[in-house]
Structure 1
């Protein structure tokens, strides 16, 4: 586009004033092509410059970059690591597994079927020897004299004499009185029913158990 000559613009202005069309404000000359292009270039460069300035200036928000948090790896305890590291059965387990059945047979043979012998009490020995058949189950007396209530101690104050009486019987004093002659109420006897000798039937330990039972528990 070519530039309009100045004298043509002046003539056109005068013509417009003559016709009463001209405005009171002075008209500015039309911008030239070069001026128009310069303004366009300046306008287009302004956003680019602003964009470049925006790129160069750091954003205060985005400029702060947080470093990633690295978590420390906690090592597994030995109780977890050791089983995981095992790849095969330990060698010492093999002989144990081989000997386990034999140990089971020995265990069953030694402890599987055992009969526990009942421990006899003095009352059991008293009943087993047949003392209750003559003197009563509670020592109250019967065919033989009573033993309960301390009567046995009155007849035999010395325990050794009582043991000898049970062990040897009444054969040596048959038909005679026996026991302590100073017994309250008089000496026991005479022996009529016959006291059997238990020395060959009961052991010494069993005789002592029976005597203590008759003296202390009846």
Structure 2
């Protein structure tokens, strides 16, 4: 049971073009109280490191070099966004509705191993952060500066859906794909309840 792992390879730009570098892989496996997210990625060191302490949340981390994973419940449009930086900073957001951040900079246990041209990250995502009935997923990566900035997606916007002048947008929830956590946990598994998301439901009542 412990060895089951889902693996995803990000090998397109956000708008569906093939990449010219080694792709990023993201693995998900069972952790003691949630999911372990493992990242294996090329290290571009561009832009330079954020001026924040490694191991701590960093606001607007998406302006730097990052790998991101989004876990969505498509019925409620509630989702968890996890951003990991090769320099050790992270940003965890909970969103209720498209782009509507409800909680941010949540604590995260995250370790990075960085080599000259690649990096590996391990983040422990507690079930408490996952919205009820999480069933969709997408992953992204960003690096480069200025005109050279590159936005990548596991499930890109399909080419026929692109509009002229469209900018990269990671919150196109309609293009996320199924995430079958029971495949990882077993058919009888039920997603543990989250006090955090429950408190939102109480606020809305």
TM over 0.5: no
Q: Bigger radius of gyration, 1 or 2?
A: 1
The structure in which a higher percent of residues are strand is: 2
Give the structure-2-normalised TM-score. Answer: 0.21
